Amino acid sequence: MDELLKQAANIVSNSKMTIALTGAGVSTESGIPDFRSSGGLWSKYNPSEFATISAFKADPLKVWEMLHAMDKIVSGAKPNAAHIGMGDLEKMGFLECIITQNVDNLHQAGGSSHVIEYHGNSRTLSCLWCGKSYSAEEKRGSFPPVCECQQVLKPDVVFFGEMIPALAMNRSLELASSAQCLMVVGTSALVSPANLIPDIAKRNNAKIIEINMERTHLSDGISDLFLQGSASKIISALVNLIKNKGNKII
pLDDT means over runs of 10, the chain (250 residues): 92 97 95 77 86 96 93 91 98 97 95 96 94 93 93 95 92 96 93 89 97 93 95 97 68
> CA 245 to CA 6: how far, in whole Å?
10
Q: Is residue 19 a contact partner of residue 176, using CB atoms and an 8 Å limit?
A: yes
Task: Name 211's bridge partners.
Answer: 185, 227
pLDDT at res. 247: 47
pLDDT at res. 40: 73
> CA 215 to CA 54: how far, in whole Å?
35
* Domains identified in the chain and CATH numbers: 1-31+79-119+163-250 (3.40.50.1220), 33-76+122-157 (3.30.1600.10)
pLDDT at res. 249: 43
One-letter amino acid at 94 equals: F
> CA 138 to CA 125: how far, in whole Å?
9
One-letter amino acid at 216 equals: T
Q: Is residue 125 a contact partner of residue 153, using CB atoms and an 8 Å limit?
A: yes
Residues with catalytic roles: 119
pLDDT at res. 38: 65
Cis peptide before 193 (omega within 30 of 0): yes
**Assign residue 229 a region: left if phi > 0, alpha if psi is -120 to 50, beta otherwise?**
left
pLDDT digits (tens, 9 = 90+) for 180-195: 999 999 998 888 888 8
Residue 7: Cβ within 10 Å count:
16
> CA 92 to CA 82: how far, in whole Å?
15
Task: Name 160's bridge partners.
Answer: 52
pLDDT digits (tens, 9 = 90+) for 204-247: 999 999 999 999 999 998 999 999 999 999 999 999 999 987 54
Which residue pairs from 57-62 have beta carbons closer than 8 angstroms and sit at least 24 positions apart in sequence? 57/128, 60/144, 60/152, 60/154, 61/144, 61/152
